[in-house]
Copies of this chain bind each other. A is one copy, B any other.
């Protein structure tokens, strides 16, 4: 046996030696260094190789737009991939008995949201901007629907581009649609985490159309579609208006605040609270899944933030990308240290949530701040998310299984506010039509901070009100929550028809257990909600 291995070793060595000897005799041709292509010959010209100024200029302009479209598409692809990250984080942080249901929500929201946004959401959000001649340069305000207030136009929503049809059948518009769609879907998938493990699938599907067609586009229009918040600067002298570079408020707060409203309407999971109202921990079933999901999100965020220039020719992308990752590291690090210091262990769930907190917070200011500010914003976010998680769980007594409200809502608010503090005036010339660069409170422009506060409050009030009302109506009409017995045995088989893991045996609740679990529900929970379903 050992003898035979030795022989095999010798054979192999001989073969390798032969392989080596072949090299000196190889002759190569072709163009390995690429000197024969990419020359003046590649410019289309009447006289090949001797292009005129006009012929060169045509290619130059084309190259510039191509760089911007390539950049916007690739970064958009990265953002799309975040859907997989959300699915893994939310499923990893919840229980084994609901994996197929949690995954399916995260999966289908991508499809539902996209269709809703294609049908109408995009038109409501961006249909008020004039033609986008180039990507990277948005054009004049041309609002279809605006009201007049204090003698100024208040843009509310647009009305062009339904089904991407008519003038919207355009390479720039399609590219913009792709990028904005994946942003919308990010917001849309956030509540599925806070509402996991108890939400019926049918109302979830309806919610998907509501947020993609109405709720998200509305606030989105006000900030990015030329609507009234973006005009606070031009109309009222408040800095550059409400500025949100990549969506701390437009995307994350919208998602987080909607998640809060939804989790409140649904009520906490059975067993989450003791009779006296103190919470029980319900640990996530698969930490590795959640950690990998977080890495995928951090990877996708390199599309989210730097891509929001919509232009690879805007070289600030280098600063944006680096700020983004620095804030994510700072958030993960401060959340870990804080947990370790206060609670004794460097909790992996909070590591992950800390990184996401840093990412959410830096999303608004990433383009306007320096690296020291980015680290600082991330450090604060990492601690803030821990406080917020405990505040929501213990004080508000709202059950958010994955911490979505804290990560996206609380840190989203911190993100837009931090822009109003730390924007250092090195970027944002002419932003929202206001001359000069964007400066925060610490760099001399207090009015910018006020614009940030107005946007943050508006977001919370409008989104919470609409989302809460929507979920309440939906609950009244068709019921939002699964029956108690479904919740106990897991939603996989009753709602989705399959067990997510075939080796998992769901518990079959007895009548007695069901009654006890419902009876144990603390007073702060609307018992009718649960009992109506039984």
Interface segment among A24-32, A148-156, A215-223, A506-514: the answer is A24-32
Q: Are A167 and B63 in contact (CB under 8 A)?
A: no
- Taking the closest CB of chain B, its distance from the CB of A451, in whole angstroms, is 19
Q: Are B291 and A103 in contact (CB under 8 A)?
A: yes
Take A70-B67, A171-B319, A372-B165 as given contacts and tell me if A33 and B497 are in contact as well, using a CB distance cutoff of 8 Å: no
Measured in the bound complex, the distance between the Cα atoms of B328 and A166 in whole Å is 22
- A518 part of interface (Cβ distance < 8 Å): no
Contact among B34, B77, B325, B427 for A33, CB-based, below 8 A = B427
Q: Are A373 and B54 in contact (CB under 8 A)?
A: no
- What residues on B are CB-neighbors of A287 within 8 Å? 99-100, 103, 498, 500-501
- A472 part of interface (Cβ distance < 8 Å): no
- Taking the closest CB of chain B, its distance from the CB of A40, in whole angstroms, is 4
**Which of A56, A291, A421, A422 has the largest count of B CB atoms less than 10 A from its CB?**
A291
Measured in the bound complex, the distance between the Cα atoms of B38 and A313 in whole Å is 9
- Taking the closest CB of chain B, its distance from the CB of A407, in whole angstroms, is 16
Take A346-B201, A371-B164, A371-B165 as given contacts and tell me if A283 and B172 are in contact as well, using a CB distance cutoff of 8 Å: no
Q: Which of A139-174 contact B (CB under 8 A)?
A: 163-174
- Taking the closest CB of chain B, its distance from the CB of A15, in whole angstroms, is 9
- What residues on B are CB-neighbors of A284 within 8 Å? 502
- A228 part of interface (Cβ distance < 8 Å): no
- Taking the closest CB of chain B, its distance from the CB of A228, in whole angstroms, is 28
Closest to A437 in B: B33
- A178 part of interface (Cβ distance < 8 Å): yes
- A533 part of interface (Cβ distance < 8 Å): no
Closest to A291 in B: B103
- Taking the closest CB of chain B, its distance from the CB of A347, in whole angstroms, is 5
- A461 part of interface (Cβ distance < 8 Å): no
Q: Are A32 and B370 in contact (CB under 8 A)?
A: yes
**Cβ-closest 7 pairs across A and B:** A34-B315, A345-B497, A175-B318, A38-B65, A30-B170, A42-B61, A84-B295
Measured in the bound complex, the distance between the Cα atoms of B88 and A8 in whole Å is 33
- A96 part of interface (Cβ distance < 8 Å): yes
Q: Are B292 and A115 in contact (CB under 8 A)?
A: no
Q: Are A70 and B71 in contact (CB under 8 A)?
A: yes
Q: Which of A338-367 contact B (CB under 8 A)?
A: 338, 341-349, 351-352, 355
Take A169-B370, A342-B8, A498-B287 as given contacts and tell me if A61 and B59 are in contact as well, using a CB distance cutoff of 8 Å: yes
Take A57-B43, A73-B317 as given contacts and tell me if A164 and B322 are in contact as well, using a CB distance cutoff of 8 Å: yes
- A78 part of interface (Cβ distance < 8 Å): yes
Take A19-B379, A38-B315 as given contacts and tell me if A169 and B330 are in contact as well, using a CB distance cutoff of 8 Å: no
Q: Are B70 and A64 in contact (CB under 8 A)?
A: no
Measured in the bound complex, the distance between the Cα atoms of B285 and A102 in whole Å is 16
Q: Are B313 and A66 in contact (CB under 8 A)?
A: yes
Q: Are B62 and A39 in contact (CB under 8 A)?
A: yes
Given contacts A5-B342, A169-B370, 10 further A-B contacts (CB under 8 A): A43-B57, A60-B60, A63-B313, A73-B302, A73-B321, A81-B299, A110-B298, A111-B336, A114-B329, A174-B322
- A294 part of interface (Cβ distance < 8 Å): yes
Q: Are A422 and B23 in contact (CB under 8 A)?
A: yes
- A246 part of interface (Cβ distance < 8 Å): no
Take A23-B442, A41-B61, A43-B60 as given contacts and tell me if A319 and B497 are in contact as well, using a CB distance cutoff of 8 Å: no
- What residues on B are CB-neighbors of A336 within 8 Å? 108, 111
Measured in the bound complex, the distance between the Cα atoms of B300 and A46 in whole Å is 39
Closest to A440 in B: B23
- What residues on B are CB-neighbors of A376 within 8 Å? 19-20, 23
Measured in the bound complex, the distance between the Cα atoms of B464 and A250 in whole Å is 50
Q: Are B63 and A63 in contact (CB under 8 A)?
A: yes
Measured in the bound complex, the distance between the Cα atoms of B424 and A30 in whole Å is 14
